[in-house]
Structure 1
């Protein structure tokens, strides 16, 4: 029973079909009437804010045609086609059908969607933006006839009806409403972060039923960082060490537009967010998001004193690497990019001294990126020249543990050491199927 409950919790995080396949004789609302191109263009921008392409476009696949495989503890699933094809996509959806799926997690045929489709966040999207998104998906996306693949998830974990009760407990219906006493920029930023941006889906811890522990700033856990799919999504509050407390407004805007700044570089799923979403945001919306995030009080810190840089002890270790296993690995594989001083060559090569990801309590992201590297940041069509390579085939578990422990202690970072067992666990989970 305990094992089944664990599996059920895991199933709730699966990004199963966003929209059900339309029947062959379905009406095609997309074919009726002339599209308002201004509305379609607006919807295209909103789809970028929602990062819809990241999940619904497979590598080398056609836009929004689905097919992206996702591994889960219960089996592999394939993301669905959300082009306006009437047979295999969402061409049979009316605007009301679309709105219900987007904001309530209920598909046209009445089946419930798993809450990894971030409808608890999209519930806050207002009617005008839903209309624009619908116009884009019906008139701005090319229809692709590509049948959806069935998942490998077996009964009873593939049952949907229990999600009705999940929605009753955790879904807060109703579009975002401006908060009194807050200015236009703050409210716009809150709307984007909590709604289309669905930042909390990754950056907010989950409860026992896989619900987000908080949906806005009124909850103390909101955006305080969370472990998800082998990565630790960073703390986005004003916490000084592992959060955004040392980031200026300009630092945050630069990161959202380029994926890198003087403090850190994007990796893991955040690379896709930068590539497909935030770099396309208007300067006004970037400023609004920064305004909102910078207003969040510090939460979820390590309890350590505020970080201050101190290179001396680390320099001594690097001068005598034979005496320190982590220093030996660092000098051989890391120092040429990240430097003796730990400052790297930001923003092209990430710093390690004071990097919020290095200072975080959970080292999962550091282990994962060391094992597997990260994809290219592609800004204005130009790939980053120095992506992080993976070392899974070069370094064993103990070597990776040693070098990450060295980095987390170095330059006064003061973060806990990493054990070889932690590395082995992530190696097994992230290398499976490669």
Structure 2
């Protein structure tokens, strides 16, 4: 063995050893060796509210299961995974987790036994949780949640994609660490909103486009891609920036609060996974926190180049005789106009408008198709199921008819969304199902 070969061998061994150390090391927690605070009723209640902010119940519970016992199947591009039991059961849950173990799982994505969590768990966002909120969250899960003995289900991800150690490298590139720090030059309300949106609320998990490595293309307002809209599970999560067509550019701060508090406003009603977020999370937030979220979102500039010419409300006029000659017009009048109007303006906050709606303006047609095919899940505000919901039309319209009526909607009243093809309808028809008309309430205790 010559000198060069020996040198390369030594370097290779050193690199391999360093890589092995890096991917198997236990991340540091600022709460290492700290004793949990006394679990007072006030701290447990605070932790329950923090869990509401993070919407933990939506993923770690099932409609017929015990709170936080896991078992919810989540589809990913690599295959399905099942959420875990996070009740304080010592055998199958997190009952043996120390405060630091809990912190590492939530903010770093590393379980107590050292295995890496898939980033379907939004720890890249949860990394911004404050130490105080982690302590409160720990108190709630250890003392406010009933332990449930329920074994975790293995995922359905095939080898080699189910190997976990590469996640450590993914984390190093795409999961920044560190609790949220107030931004200088912004007031307390803005910073509170930024903390919730970027951290516990993990809004970017749905509303920020992802790269080839399934990483969010921005984690805060420093990136123009952050919260600029993204495709997700057969839906298009719209921009939360000040884009007048596809985002919140025409919404006041008060209307943002109303949407998060009531599930609807004059512009839109919650649909898709946002229904779950509303039913289980945003409606429980305090007025101050909702105002902070609205203030922060209202500060994010839109992108005219991406969003296109601003929609003109004057274009939302009653259909003319020539409009009625277009494919899809007759079905719109027969099946849609009684709620959404001949002018597409809807009926206040109860029947959302289609004229100028973000789903009608977005180049991605997924939400338009999904809602028309499957209808909307039941919105439950303050314990009362909504009396108004979009019915499914998957059994009433074939792919061509559905494509025609959606193309008509997305090209009428000044809408700029563009055409929908029968193939797009067929693809979503195959992999989605009709929304449930039953109200789904996930209990926290």
Secondary structure, aligned partner of 1:121: helix
In the alignment, the residues of structure 2 paired with residue 74 and residue 184 of structure 1 have an alpha-carbon distance, to the nearest angstrom, of: 41
Pick from 286, 291, 296 the counterpart of residue 282 of structure 1: 286
In the alignment, the residues of structure 2 paired with residue 285 and residue 316 of structure 1 have an alpha-carbon distance, to the nearest angstrom, of: 45
Please say if residues 89 and 144 of structure 1, whose CA atoms lie closer than 8 Å, have aligned partners that are also in contact. Answer: yes
Could you tell me which residue of structure 2 aligns to residue 21 of structure 1? none
Could you tell me which residue of structure 1 aligns to residue 414 of structure 2? 412
Could you tell me which residue of structure 2 aligns to residue 110 of structure 1? 114
Please say if residues 241 and 301 of structure 1, whose CA atoms lie closer than 8 Å, have aligned partners that are also in contact. Answer: no
Please say if residues 238 and 244 of structure 1, whose CA atoms lie closer than 8 Å, have aligned partners that are also in contact. Answer: yes
Could you tell me which residue of structure 2 aligns to residue 13 of structure 1? none
Secondary structure, aligned partner of 1:315: coil
| Residue 268 (str. 1) matches residue 308 (str. 2) | no
In the alignment, the residues of structure 1 paired with residue 412 and residue 257 of structure 2 have an alpha-carbon distance, to the nearest angstrom, of: 28
In the alignment, the residues of structure 2 paired with residue 320 and residue 155 of structure 1 have an alpha-carbon distance, to the nearest angstrom, of: 54
Could you tell me which residue of structure 2 aligns to residue 297 of structure 1? 301
Could you tell me which residue of structure 2 aligns to residue 224 of structure 1? 228
1:102-159 deviation per Cα after TM superposition (whole angstroms, max 9, x unaligned): 1111111111111121100011111000000000010111111111112222211111
Please say if residues 170 and 211 of structure 1, whose CA atoms lie closer than 8 Å, have aligned partners that are also in contact. Answer: yes
Could you tell me which residue of structure 1 aligns to residue 404 of structure 2? 402
| Residue 178 (str. 1) matches residue 182 (str. 2) | yes
Please say if residues 275 and 377 of structure 1, whose CA atoms lie closer than 8 Å, have aligned partners that are also in contact. Answer: yes
Secondary structure, aligned partner of 1:151: coil
In the alignment, the residues of structure 1 paired with residue 416 and residue 37 of structure 2 have an alpha-carbon distance, to the nearest angstrom, of: 62
1:1-50 deviation per Cα after TM superposition (whole angstroms, max 9, x unaligned): xxxxxxxxxxxxxxxxxxxxxxxxxxxx99x9962111100000010010
| Residue 190 (str. 1) matches residue 211 (str. 2) | no
Question: Residue 74 of structure 1: CA displacement?
Answer: 4.9
Q: 1:149 to 1:300 in 2, by over 3 A?
A: farther
Pick from 367, 385, 388 the counterpart of residue 387 of structure 2: 385
Please say if residues 317 and 343 of structure 2, whose CA atoms lie closer than 8 Å, have aligned partners that are also in contact. Answer: no
| Residue 237 (str. 1) matches residue 278 (str. 2) | no
Alignment of 1:328-339 (within 5 A): 328-339=330-341
In the alignment, the residues of structure 2 paired with residue 346 and residue 314 of structure 1 have an alpha-carbon distance, to the nearest angstrom, of: 17
Could you tell me which residue of structure 2 aligns to residue 159 of structure 1? 163
Could you tell me which residue of structure 2 aligns to residue 80 of structure 1? 84
In the alignment, the residues of structure 1 paired with residue 305 and residue 422 of structure 2 have an alpha-carbon distance, to the nearest angstrom, of: 25
Deviates more, 1:299-308 or 1:168-177: 299-308
Could you tell me which residue of structure 2 aligns to residue 14 of structure 1? none
Q: 1:384 to 1:431 in 2, by over 3 A?
A: closer
Could you tell me which residue of structure 2 aligns to residue 40 of structure 1? 44
Alignment of 1:127-166 (within 5 A): 127-166=131-170
Which structure is larger by alpha-carbon Rg, 1 or 2? 2
Please say if residues 313 and 410 of structure 1, whose CA atoms lie closer than 8 Å, have aligned partners that are also in contact. Answer: no
The count of corresponding residues between Structure 1 and Structure 2 is 402
Question: Residue 345 of structure 1: CA displacement?
Answer: 1.4
TM-score in terms of structure 1 length = 0.89
Structure 1: tracts of 5 or more residues without a match: 1-28
In the alignment, the residues of structure 2 paired with residue 385 and residue 309 of structure 1 have an alpha-carbon distance, to the nearest angstrom, of: 28
Please say if residues 85 and 145 of structure 1, whose CA atoms lie closer than 8 Å, have aligned partners that are also in contact. Answer: yes
Question: Residue 312 of structure 1: CA displacement?
Answer: 7.0
In the alignment, the residues of structure 1 paired with residue 158 and residue 262 of structure 2 have an alpha-carbon distance, to the nearest angstrom, of: 41
In the alignment, the residues of structure 1 paired with residue 382 and residue 229 of structure 2 have an alpha-carbon distance, to the nearest angstrom, of: 29
Secondary structure, aligned partner of 1:44: helix
Could you tell me which residue of structure 1 aligns to residue 100 of structure 2? 96
- What is the RMSD computed on CA atoms of the aligned residues? 2.0
Structure 2: tracts of 5 or more residues without a match: 1-33, 437-445
1:384-433 deviation per Cα after TM superposition (whole angstroms, max 9, x unaligned): 1111111111111111111111111111113211111111111122249x
Could you tell me which residue of structure 1 aligns to residue 346 of structure 2? 344
In the alignment, the residues of structure 2 paired with residue 177 and residue 63 of structure 1 have an alpha-carbon distance, to the nearest angstrom, of: 32
Pick from 251, 256, 261 the counterpart of residue 252 of structure 1: 256
Question: Residue 280 of structure 1: CA displacement?
Answer: 0.4
Could you tell me which residue of structure 2 aligns to residue 354 of structure 1? 356
In the alignment, the residues of structure 1 paired with residue 38 and residue 248 of structure 2 have an alpha-carbon distance, to the nearest angstrom, of: 46
Question: Residue 240 of structure 1: CA displacement?
Answer: 1.3
Secondary structure, aligned partner of 2:157: coil
Please say if residues 74 and 80 of structure 2, whose CA atoms lie closer than 8 Å, have aligned partners that are also in contact. Answer: yes
Question: Residue 301 of structure 1: CA displacement?
Answer: 5.7
In the alignment, the residues of structure 2 paired with residue 256 and residue 312 of structure 1 have an alpha-carbon distance, to the nearest angstrom, of: 26
Question: Residue 61 of structure 1: CA displacement?
Answer: 1.4
| Residue 49 (str. 1) matches residue 49 (str. 2) | no
Question: Residue 302 of structure 1: CA displacement?
Answer: 4.4
